[in-house]
Amino acid sequence: MKRFVTGAMSYGSISREAHETLAIAMNRIGGRSNTGEGGEDPIRFQPLANGDSVRSSIKQVASGRFGVTTEYLVNADELQIKIAQGAKPGEGGQLPGQKVDKIIAKTRYSIPGITLISPPPHHDIYSIEDLSQLIFDLKNVNPKAKISVKLVSESGVGTIAAGVTKAGADLITISGYEGGTGASPSSSIKHAGLPLELGLAETQQTLVMNNLRRKVILQADGQLKTGKDIIIAALLGAEEYGFSTSALIVLGCVMMRKCHLNTCPVGITTQNPELRKRFRGKADNVVTFFHFLAEEVRELLAELGYRKMDDIIGRVDLLERNPEVDHWKIKNIDLSGLLTLPSESAVNAMHCVDIQDHKIDHILDRELIAEADKAISDKQPVVIQRSIHNTDRTIGAMLSGKIATLYGSAGLPDGTIKCRFKGSAGQSFGAFLSPGIELYLEGEANDYLGKGLSGGRIIVVPPVGSVFEPDKNIIIGNTVLYGATSGEAYISGVAGERFGVRNSGAIAVVEGVGNHCCEYMTGGRVVVLGTTGSNFAAGMSGGIAYVLNENGDFDYYCNMGMVELSLVEDYSDVNELTEFITRYYHFTRSKKAKMILDNPDKYLPMFIKVIPYDYKKVLQEQKLEEIRKKIADVEIDLEISAS
């Protein structure tokens, strides 16, 4: 049963009732359920009164990074990096605003009614080296979890899988084109992706030939339904098996194929409260289904003459073509490529027999954890001073994971752990930083600073004595605050490209940015006290940005597809902007910030407010609702007084 998993089905794509029922069933049988890319409500981390658990063992990290907080990551047995989906490889995803209710918005760190976009690529993965960095980041946060990477069946996937294995993945999932079809575009269902068998066979052969198969587990999904499907997948190289459609059918799915419309008639893939009342699925039914699957697998295994699944992994010599299938379209297809046993299989392992070395035993964070022991255990403030080098990567992540394990998303009181660094920080400085931790860097930092920031504070300032102008020089790298959910970042200098991509709650102030700033942003605030690159706010559906438009040409660089521009004239906006710049000056002593604060009448009118249309509309509706509530409360008070 431990080889069985459910496929990625997120909050939003299916209802909470269906999601939790699957989790309960898989936990009962020792399998694993997958959160999908929508995060998970922390209340599910606690067992139910009857002893059942609704916690999903597999937590997915997708391109949208929805709900990916430190608390989310530490409550996992497996962390899955979703590179693509079998039914729509390379397309990303979109959750329509009509399906984003209060619970989903809370879980994904957004607001109800706002459309949520998952970009096609991960903006911190453009090479195998980048993937290796993300694997390292996740392993730091949760050293006990396996790190898996989800790939799709395609030509050349074997070579990609070899790179992923070398990057440090513990598990690789190969997803076939038939998986996840409920909410995929019909054009993708018909024309994108390849059958599971092609990708799985190529991956197995490539890994065996390069003696890499021993280091990684292979998982397969894509319309597996029967014991025979499992045996065939095993013979082609898979050790674990994922089920989504079949599990949903057991829960009552009738395959209407309109999951994205929020009108599922059986209450499985809808957030409509009335339709969700129709859900009749039971965990017992799912458990029974998997028990029968396991029994069928045992019977087929016995027919083959083997006792254990490991004995048949990769044994394609036990497969033969069915002579009864003689349709003219397929009778001339050559299947020898699928059924070839690599010659290296005589000496190289055919399944996973080893473990990856993630090289996290002697990192700087272990020293930080030791020095911060009193802060972690007794919440006593500590100050740690260290020099730092660009070989010191993912600083703060393991420390944050330790705190999140003990205290959840609340973390420690503000400023409990203050780390003062001098030098050049490596990649992912401050990744997944928890509340109560403040990282102060005098120097410079590489890419991915503040990735997944979860409530901590990051401050970067130029070295003392430097003579360059901060608002004209790059001090941190690319893809900063990617997927940040909360916290603060104050950067006394210019950032590279993709600053604040998919930010959903963090506050950031910086003196200049490269291209694609605030891309796919859904929440939080970003203040830019200088120039921006092109394509600012592309795909931005939430949050607010304030940009100092000194040159008067910001509208040329801004992507106006989803946002509107206005001057900062509203009293509340002026106060908010002034407060951000004041805090920024407090932490960085920036000359640019002081210049603005000393002469607000001159500089505040230069700021441009960037706000998405839909976000503005939702905020206005929320204000109207608050006004209506206050009026109703006053009317009730008057009635009581009159009586």
Distance CA 275, CA 544 (A): 35
Pick the closest to residue 525 from 553, 547, 497, 558 (CA basis): 547
Looking at residues 466-471, what average pLDDT do you find?
Answer: 89
Please list the alpha-helical segments (H only) found in 34-87.
Answer: 70-74
pLDDT for res 594? 97
Distance of CA 40 to the CA centre of its chain: 11
Q: CB neighbours (10 Å) of residue 53?
A: 18
Percent of the chain residues topping a pLDDT of 70: 98
Nearest partner of 510 among 523, 497, 492, judged by Cα: 492
> Residue 464 burial by CB count (10 A; 0-12/13-18/19+): exposed, middle or buried?
exposed
Please state, rounded to an integer, the average pLDDT across all residues of the chain. Answer: 93
How far is it, in rounded angstroms, from Cα 377 to Cα 115?
41
Encoded amino acid at 627, one letter:
I
Q: Are 420 and 384 in contact (CB under 8 A)?
A: yes
Strands 607-612 and 542-548: antiparallel
pLDDT, tens digit (0-9, with 9 covering 90-100), for 268-285: 988 888 999 999 999 999
pLDDT at 475: 97
Percent of the chain with pLDDT over 90: 77
Look at residue 179 and give its three-state secondary structure.
Answer: coil
Please write the tens of the pLDDT for every residue from 212-234. Answer: 999 999 999 988 999 999 999 99
Class for the domain spanning 364-625 = mainly beta
CB neighbour class for 422 (10 Å; exposed up to 12, middle 13-18, buried from 19): middle
Of 240, 237, 162, 230, which Cα lies nearest the Cα of 198?
237
Summarize the confidence of residues 201-209 as an average pLDDT. Answer: 97
CA angle at 467 for the pair 463 and 471, rounded to the nearest 5°: 85
pLDDT at 181 over 60: no
Residue range 381-393: mean pLDDT, rounded: 97
Residue 460 has a pLDDT of 98
pLDDT at 101: 84
CB atoms within 10 A of CB 199: 29
Question: Across-strand partners of 171?
Answer: 148, 217
Angstrom distance (rounded) from CA 512 to CA 517: 10
Side chain identity at residue 311, one-letter code: D
Confidence of residue 100 (pLDDT cuts 50, 70, 90): confident
Section 615-629 average pLDDT: 87
User: What are 472-484's pLDDT values in tens digits?
Assistant: 999 999 999 999 9
Structure tokens at 354: 């080893």
By three-state DSSP, how is residue 116 classified? strand
Q: What is the mean pLDDT of residues 299-314?
A: 95
Are 494 and 530 within 8 A, CB to CB? yes
pLDDT recorded at residue 555: 92
Q: Cα-flanking dihedrals φ and ψ of residue 331, to 5°?
A: -65, -20
**Residue (of 274, 224, 275, 220) closest to 249 by Cα position:** 224
Other beta carbons within 10 Å of 130 = 18
Alpha helices in 212-306 (DSSP H): 227-235, 245-250, 273-276, 283-304
Measured CA to CA, the distance from residue 574 to residue 568 in angstroms comes to 6
Q: Please state, in angstroms and rounded to a whole number, the distance separating the CA atoms of residues 141 and 127.
A: 22
Cα 4 from Cα 309, distance rounded (Å): 13
pLDDT of residue 61: 96
pLDDT of residue 114: 82
Q: What is the mean pLDDT of residues 293-309?
A: 95
pLDDT value of residue 110: 87
Q: Are strands 78-82 and 58-61 parallel, antiparallel or unpaired?
A: parallel
**DSSP assignment of 468-504:** S-GGGSB-S-SSTTTT--EEEEEESSB--SSTTTT-E
Q: What is the pLDDT of residues 120-152, one digit of tens each?
A: 899 999 999 999 999 999 999 999 999 999 999
- Residue 529 tokens read as 């006290």
**pLDDT for res 356:** 96
Q: What is the pLDDT averaged over residues 330-358?
A: 91
Q: Which of these, 440, 452, 501, 449, lies nearest to 476 by C-alpha position?
A: 449
416, 456 in Cβ contact below 8 A? no
Q: What is the pLDDT of residue 103?
A: 86
- Indicate the burial class of 1 (C-beta count within 10 angstroms; 0-12, 13-18, 19 or more): middle
Closest alpha carbon to 476 in 548, 426, 532: 426
Cα gap 392→338, rounded to integer Å? 44
Fold classification of 4-346 is: TIM Barrel (3.20.20)
Residue 183 has pLDDT above 70, yes or no: no
Spatial contact of 428 and 399, defined as CB atoms under 8 Å apart: no
> What φ, ψ does residue 62 adopt, rounded to 5°?
-105, 180
Within a 10 A sphere around the Cβ of 306, how many other Cβ atoms? 14
Q: How many residues does the chain have?
A: 643
The full set of domain ranges for the chain reads 4-346, 364-625
627 vs 621: CA distance, rounded Å: 10
The span from the CA of 439 to the CA of 460, in Å, is 8
pLDDT of residue 516: 97
pLDDT at 281: 93
The span from the CA of 577 to the CA of 549, in Å, is 14
- pTM exceeds 0.85, yes or no: yes
Mean pLDDT confidence for 578-588? 98
